[in-house]
Structure 1
Amino acid sequence: MSGLSFLLLEDSLLDAELIDALLTEGGIVYRLKQVKTRDEYQKALEQGSFDLILSDYSLPGFDGITALEIAQYVCPDVPFIFVTATMGEEVAIETLKKGAIDYVLKQRMYRLVPSIRRALREAEERRARQQAETELHRREQEFRALVENSPDIIARIDKNLRYVYVNPAIQRSTGMPPNMMVGKKTPELGIPEEIYSPWEARLRKVFVTGLPCFFDFDFLSSNGIRYYQSQIVPEFALNGSVETLLSITRDITESKQAEQALRASEAQLRQQKDELEQANQVKDEFLAVLSHELRSPLNAILGWSKLLRSRKLDTPTFERALETIERNAKLQTQLIEDLLDVSRIIRGKLTLHPHPTSLVPAIEAAIDTMRLAAQAKSIDLQFKILDVGNEETTDSHFPKQQNELQSLELTKIRNSQFQVLGDPNRLQQIIWNLLSNAIKFTPNGGSVKVELSTEDREIGRIREVISDSPHAKIIVSDTGIGISPDFLPYVFDSFRQADGSTTRKQGGLGLGLAIVRHLVELHGGSVTASSLGEGQGSTFTVQLPLCASSKDKKKAGIVNSSLSSSVKPNSYTYSPLKGVRVLVVDDEADSRDFLVFALEDSGATATAVASVEQALEVLGTFKPHVLVSDIGMPQQDGYNLIQQVRTLPPRLGGDIPAIALTAYAGEKNRTQAIAAGFQRHLAKPIIPEELTNIILELVVDTRT
C-alpha cells in the first residue's frame, strides 16, 4: 500500500507518534495529517482528500461520535476507525452502527495495522462495486432508451410463453398498447391461429435447444398488410438454463414491397426480353420469307425472259411464258402493295374514299378475281345472300323461269339492302384477302363459302346518334387446314404466320389478315376469326354498319333532346346547319373536299385549310362556330392546333367547340383527343349525318 493519505484526530502527541511508528513498522506507506480540534478537523475534511480517518474517542470540546457524524456527512465513503484507550461495549456497538469500520483499544495496538488493511480493502471493494453499479445503471438507461425508442418490436417472454415486457414500438406498428400484452399469451391477443401456432412452436423450440431462430410472417393491421421478421434469442440463468426469451421483430414491409417490385420488374424484363427475342425471330422469319416471296416470281420472270430472248420457243410455249411472266408480275405487285398498305396503316396515312356503296358488287368482284384460283384446286366456291325477301339466294342459282325484269328488280333489292358507307376498292380488298387466304389454305376438292346477311346491334362509335343500327355480316368459311388454338389470338397480327419457316408449304408475307383488320376497323366495323382447331377449317366474320334507309331513320329517329320537334333531319330540302360556320383543317385535299361538300350539303358555310398555321390565320377572320380538325398532319398535328387555340382569348376563338377526326376509333384515341381540348372525337370514315348531328349538338350547347 503506497501513496495513501490518512487523517488522525488525536490531541496526544505521544499517541500520535506511537500510531505513526506502528504504521511504518507495518509497512504502510502513507502521509499522515494530525489535527487536534474540531475546527481543524472540519477544515481538513473540507480541503483534503483522505483514504482513512483515525480518531480518538475522547476529545477536548467534542467526542468521537460527533467526529464520526461529521465525517459521514462530508466524506461518507472514507473508512473511519476509532483508536482510543477506553470504550465500553455499548459505545463500541453504537459507533459501528453510526458507520465506523472498527475500533482499536490503545492497550491492543497490534490490531491497528490489520484493521487498517481490512478497512482499506473493504473501501476499495466498495468503490469498485459502486462504480460497477453506476456503470450498470448507465448502461441500463442506455439500453432502455434504445429499447423504448427502437423501431423494432422488442419483447421478453417467460417459460409460460407470456409476455413480461413489450416496448412501445408494438403500438406504433399495430396500434396495440404494450400494457395490453404484458402477462398474456399470443393467442389471448386476438392474433390469428395461422400466426400464433408456428410462433409458439418456435418459442418452445428455443427454450428446449437454447439456439436462436428466425420467424417471418405477415399481419393485417389497421394500416393494411404488414410484413415482419422476428429473431428469437435465449436469455440464460446462472445455472445455464434458458430463463426467458427475447424477441426482436422488425417491420420489413418496405423492403418486402421493394423485393416484390424488383421481382415484378425482373419478370417484366424477362417478358420484354422474350417478346424482343420473339419479335427478332419473327423479323428474321419475315425477312427470310420476304426474300423467298420476292425472289420466286423474279426467278420465273427472269427465267422465261431469257428463254424468250432465245426465240426458240414454239407458239404454245411462247404463250405459256407470257402468261407465267404476267402472273408472277401481278404476284410481285400484290406483295409490294401489301407492304405499302401496312406501311400506310402504321403511319396512319391509309386513306379511304367513302360513299354509299353496295357490298354485293364488291363481294362478286372479289369472287370473280379468285374464281380461277379456286377452280385450279377444284374448290367449290359459293356465295349466299340471306334476308332478301326473307329467302335465301345465291349469285349463280337464280330460278331459270324468272325474266330479266324480275332479275333486275331482285338485284336492286339486294343492292339497296346491303348499302354501306365505304370505299369500294378497299371493301373488295377485304373480301379478296379473306378469299385468297381461304383458298390458299384449303386443300384440293374442298369448299369455300361466302355468306352475306344483316343483323341489328349497337355500335359504340355511333351509339350516341342512332341506336340498334343494322349491320351487314359477311362470313367467309372454308374446309381448310384450320387454326390452332395457340395461334388464333395472333391471326390478325402483321407478319405472323402459323408456319413462319422457309420450309412452309404456303407462300405469302402474313400481311393479308392484318390489312383486313385495319380496313374493317377504318370502316367502323369488326372482324373475328374462329376455328375448331387444326384440320377443322376456319371461319372469318366481318360486320360493317349499314347506311340506314329513309324508312329506318324515321323509325329510329335522332337521339338529341336539344333539337326541337320541328327538325326533320331526313327531309330532302332540310338544311340543319344553315347559318353555321365550320372551319375544316385537313392536309389531305380529298378529305377537305369531301368534308366541305358534306357540310355545305347540310346548309353550313365551310372553309377548309391544309395546315395548323393556315387555321390560326383564318380563325380570327372567318370566326367559325365549330372547328373540325384532322389529327394526323405533317409538321404540326391536330393536338398542336387545339393547344394553341385554347390559349387564345374567347373573342379570337379560344373557346370554340372542336371535333377531332382520326383514322383510329379506339378508346385511347378518344380519351387523348378529349384531354387535349377537343369536345368530340370522330373516327374515319366520317358519316356525314353523324358529323352534322354532332355539330348541331355543339352549336346548341354553345348557344344555350
Structure 2
Amino acid sequence: MDQALKILLLEDNVYDAELIERELQKANLHFVTERVDSRDELLAKIPVFKPDLIISDFNMPQLNALEALELLQEHHYKIPFILVTGSQTEEVAVDCIRKGANDYILKYSLTRLPSAIENALKNHEIEKEKFNAETRLKQSEERYRFVVENIKEVIFQTNEDGEFTFLNSAWEKITGYTNLESLQKPLTRFLHPDDRVKVFNLYQQLWHNESVEKRYEVRFEAKNGQELWFEINPQILYDQDNNIIGTFGSLRDITWQKRSEKRLKASLEEKDILLKEVYHRVKNNLQVIASMLSIQNMYLEDERMKKILEDSQNRIFSIALVHQKLYASNDLSSISVEDYFRELVGQIAGLYNDDQVDMALNIENIKLDIDTIMPMGLITNEIITNSFKYAFRGIDSPQIKLNINRNMRNQIVFEIGDNGVGFQEPPDLDRPQSLGMQLINLLGSQLNAELDLKNRNGVVYTFVFTAKNPK
C-alpha cells in the first residue's frame, strides 16, 4: 500500500495489542494503530483517526465486540471489523459475523490475521462499490421517475394484449381517467371510435415488424367526453429472449394545435370566399365600365376618339380577365399563364376579325401571381393591338408571336412581336413619346424586367425578369 493502513485496536490489554502489531509487522504490512477500550473512546476516535479497519477483542471491562458492532451500525459507520478472541465459543463468533464482523481469529492463530485483513479490505471495497452502484441506480431511478411523472407528455406501456400496464401522471391530468380506471384496460377502449381501426392496424404492423411511420395522429376521448388529439409514438418492447412482450411510447397532446388548425382552415376558407366575391365584383364593375365606354363610342363621330375608347376597352378587358380567372380558380394567389394568355390573345384577335393573321403561341404551363400577370396582360394588349393596327400593310403572311418560358436561371422570358413592317424610326425606350410605348415602359418597370427591342423583319419585344414563386 502507498499509504499506511489505519488500524483501530479495540483492546484493553496492551500486551495483546503489541502481539497483534508484531504479527502484522512480520507480514510486512505498512500500518499505523490507535488503541481504545471504551464506548466513548471508540466514538471519539473514529471521526478523528478515520480507521480503515477495526480489530477488536471480544470481552473488555467497558465494552464487548457485539456492543461495538451495534454502535457502528447505530452511527452508520461501515468499517471492516475483525474479531480477535482467545476463549469465546463458535456461537459467539457467529453472532458477531451476523452483526457485521468480517472475520474472527483466535489469538493463538494470529498468523492468519494478515490474510484476514486483506480479505476484509477486499470485501469491504466490493461492498462499497456495490453500495455506490445501488445508490447511483436508485438516484437514477428517482430522477427518471421524477422526469416521467412531471413530463407533459403521457408515457405509457402495454402488454402484448394491448392493455395499459403503466401510465404516468400526465394521463390523468389530460384525460381525467385515473390509473385505477385505466390500467389493465385496452388502449383502444379510450380511442375515438373512428380511429380504433387505424390504431389496430398500426399495432398489427408493429407486431409483424413492418415499416410504419414513427408518429401517428389519433383521437382519444376524455372522461368528460371531450375529443382529444394525441401524437402517438409506439415502440415494440422485448424481453431478454427477444420475445415481444408489449409496447411502450409516448402520447403528445396536440388538441390545441388541431383546434387551431381547424380555426385557421375555416378562416382561410372564409377568406377565399370573400376574395372570390371581391374578384367577381371587380370583374363585373370593369365589364360595366367597358360597356359604358362601348355605348359612349356609339355616339362619337371623331374616329380618333373612337380609337382611344376602343384601346381603353381592351385594357380594361385584360384587367377584368385576370379577376375572372382568379374567381374561377381554386388557387386565389396565382393564375395559369397558358390559360390566361390564350384567352386574352383570342379576345384581342377577335376584335379585329382578321383570320389572315397567324397567332403563334408558345407558352409554358406555369402559374404566376396577380402582380405579375396584370402588367404582362396589359403589355400584351398594347403590343398586339399595335400589330393589328399598323404592322401588316403589304405583308403577305402576317404573324404575331407570343413566347413565355423560363430560362436556365429560372427567369421568365416574355417575348412578343410580329413579322410586320416595323418602326420607321425605333422608339427611344428611355424617353418614349407615344402613350402606348410609355405604358409598355412603365409596365416593364413594374416587372423589374430587362427590355430588349428588335426592329428587323418586324418588331420583337423581349422582357426578362425574375417572378415571385413561379409554379
Q: Is the 8 A contact 1:164 1:183 kept in 2?
A: yes
1:229 to 228, 231, 234: 231
Aligned CA distance change for structure 1 residues 271 and 44 (closer, same or farther; 3 Å):
same
Is 1:56–2:57 an aligned residue pair?
yes
Aligned CA distance change for structure 1 residues 2 and 266 (closer, same or farther; 3 Å):
farther
| Deviations 1:269-291 (CA, angstroms, capped at 9, x unpaired) | 66667777777777877777776
Task: Output the amino acid matched with 1:94.
Answer: D
| Deviations 1:1-36 (CA, angstroms, capped at 9, x unpaired) | 454432111234444344334445656544421223
1:249 Cα deviation (Å)? 0.9
Corresponding residue for 2:248?
246
Q: Is the 8 A contact 1:227 1:253 kept in 2?
A: yes
Corresponding residue for 1:178?
179
Structure 1: any 5+ residue segments left out of the alignment? 304-324, 333-485, 487-497, 507-704
Q: TM-score, normalised by structure 2?
A: 0.55
Corresponding residue for 2:75?
74
Corresponding residue for 2:199?
199
Q: Is the 8 A contact 1:152 1:248 kept in 2?
A: yes
User: 2:12 is paired with a residue of what secondary structure?
Assistant: coil
Aligned CA distance change for structure 1 residues 289 and 42 (closer, same or farther; 3 Å):
same
Corresponding residue for 1:598?
none
1:191 Cα deviation (Å)? 4.4
1:165 Cα deviation (Å)? 2.0
Corresponding residue for 2:461?
none
Q: Is the 8 A contact 1:79 1:100 kept in 2?
A: yes
CA distance in 2, matches of 1:23, 1:291: 124
Q: Is the 8 A contact 1:80 1:100 kept in 2?
A: yes
User: 2:143 is paired with a residue of what secondary structure?
Assistant: helix
1:104-183 to 2 correspondence within 5 Å? 104-183=105-184
CA distance in 2, matches of 1:15, 1:168: 63
Q: CA RMSD in A?
A: 4.6
Is 1:100–2:101 an aligned residue pair?
yes
- Mean Cα displacement is larger for which, 42-51 or 248-257? 42-51
1:117 Cα deviation (Å)? 2.4
Aligned CA distance change for structure 1 residues 282 and 121 (closer, same or farther; 3 Å):
farther
CA distance in 2, matches of 1:29, 1:159: 61
Task: Output the amino acid matched with 2:8.
Answer: L
CA distance in 2, matches of 1:149, 1:69: 41
Aligned CA distance change for structure 1 residues 164 and 29 (closer, same or farther; 3 Å):
farther
Task: Output the amino acid matched with 1:97.
Answer: R
Task: Output the amino acid matched with 2:112.
Answer: R
Q: Is the 8 A contact 1:285 1:501 kept in 2?
A: no
1:179 Cα deviation (Å)? 0.6
User: 1:59 is paired with a residue of what secondary structure?
Assistant: coil
1:490-569 to 2 correspondence within 5 Å? 501-502=347-348
User: 1:147 is paired with a residue of what secondary structure?
Assistant: helix
1:251 Cα deviation (Å)? 1.5
Corresponding residue for 1:40?
41
Aligned CA distance change for structure 1 residues 131 and 62 (closer, same or farther; 3 Å):
closer
User: 1:155 is paired with a residue of what secondary structure?
Assistant: strand
CA distance in 2, matches of 1:266, 1:240: 50
CA distance in 2, matches of 1:210, 1:22: 71
1:268-667 to 2 correspondence within 5 Å? 297-298=299-300, 300-302=301-303, 501-502=347-348
| Deviations 1:46-99 (CA, angstroms, capped at 9, x unpaired) | 655333211122434443333333333234422211123344322222221222
Corresponding residue for 1:387?
none
Aligned CA distance change for structure 1 residues 219 and 104 (closer, same or farther; 3 Å):
same
User: 2:95 is paired with a residue of what secondary structure?
Assistant: helix
Question: How many residues are treated as equivalent by the alignment?
Answer: 321
Aligned CA distance change for structure 1 residues 153 and 6 (closer, same or farther; 3 Å):
same
Structure 2: any 5+ residue segments left out of the alignment? 310-327, 329-342, 353-471
1:231 Cα deviation (Å)? 1.2
Task: Output the amino acid matched with 1:198.
Answer: K
Q: Is the 8 A contact 2:192 2:221 kept in 1?
A: no
Aligned CA distance change for structure 1 residues 20 and 180 (closer, same or farther; 3 Å):
same
Q: Is the 8 A contact 1:56 1:82 kept in 2?
A: yes
| Deviations 1:613-641 (CA, angstroms, capped at 9, x unpaired) | xxxxxxxxxxxxxxxxxxxxxxxxxxxxx
1:229 Cα deviation (Å)? 0.9
Task: Output the amino acid matched with 2:255.
Answer: T
Is 1:214–2:215 an aligned residue pair?
yes
Q: TM-score, normalised by structure 1?
A: 0.39
Corresponding residue for 1:259?
261
| Deviations 1:432-451 (CA, angstroms, capped at 9, x unpaired) | xxxxxxxxxxxxxxxxxxxx
CA distance in 1, matches of 2:51, 2:210: 50
User: 2:218 is paired with a residue of what secondary structure?
Assistant: strand
CA distance in 1, matches of 2:194, 2:80: 64
Task: Output the amino acid matched with 1:52.
Answer: L
